[in-house]
Structure 1
Amino acid sequence: MSVISFDKLRDTREQPDAQFVRKDEHGQAMYLFALEYEMGPSTWSAMIWAYSFEDAERRVKAMRGSLAVCGQMHASIGA
């Protein structure tokens, strides 16, 4: 198994690949961030869009207090 240091990667890359960047309705760049959590003996992951690393941390903090399951996903329609 290979372990990747995200801190080192974040410091060495100026811009992420295009598939990991999108613009919000005001044209401001948002970036895709990986999240990690443990459940029992396993480690799981999820992804969120945020404006910066600090914004991603704020979003995770907000999730701790209000995250809820809305329903099962069945399809995705590209824009």
Structure 2
Amino acid sequence: MSVISFDKLRDMRERPDAQFVRTDDHGQVMYLFALEYEMGLSTWSAKIWAYSFEDAEMRVKAMRESLAVCGQMHTSIGA
């Protein structure tokens, strides 16, 4: 697998594109982060919203300690 580094491009912009930024219920800005994990011979990905890179790392640490399957999703109802 090849990984492309976008560090130089990221440094050129103040913020990510709009679809990767949102504001929480308290007015704090959150960013979308990509996660990656391996299972067997395959590499899988997931995404989470976090306030910073450090916050994303803390969330992954919490997932390692307590992540559980809640059930299969069937639909989503917008609020």
2:19 paired with 1:19: yes
In the other structure, the counterpart of 2:59 is 59
Over 3 Å counting, the alpha-carbon distance change for 1:9 and 1:72 in structure 2 is farther
Q: Which moved more, 1:41-50 or 1:68-77?
A: 68-77
TM-score for the superposition, normalised by structure 1:
0.86
**Distance change in 2, residues 1:47/1:11 (3 Å):** same
Which amino acid counterpart does residue 46 of structure 1 have in structure 2? A
Deviation at 1:46, TM superposition (A): 0.3
Which runs of no fewer than 5 residues in structure 2 stay unpaired?
Answer: none
Q: Which residue of 2 aligns with 1:5?
A: 5
Q: Give the deviation of 1:6 after TM superposition.
A: 4.6
Structure 1 residue 4 displacement after superposition: 1.9
Residue 45 of structure 1: aligned partner: 45
Question: Residue 78 of structure 1 aligns to which amino acid in structure 2?
Answer: G
Q: Percent identity?
A: 87
Return the alpha-carbon distance in structure 2 between the equivalents of residues 6 and 36 of structure 1.
16
Q: Deviations over 1:21-76 (max 9, x none)?
A: 11111100001100000000000000000000000000000100000001111112
The runs of at least 4 consecutive aligned structure 1 residues that moved more than 6 Å come to none
* Equivalenced residues, count: 79
Q: Classify 1:22/1:47 alpha carbon distance in 2 versus 1 (closer, same or farther; 3 Å).
A: same
Structure 1 residue runs of 5 or longer lacking an equivalent are none
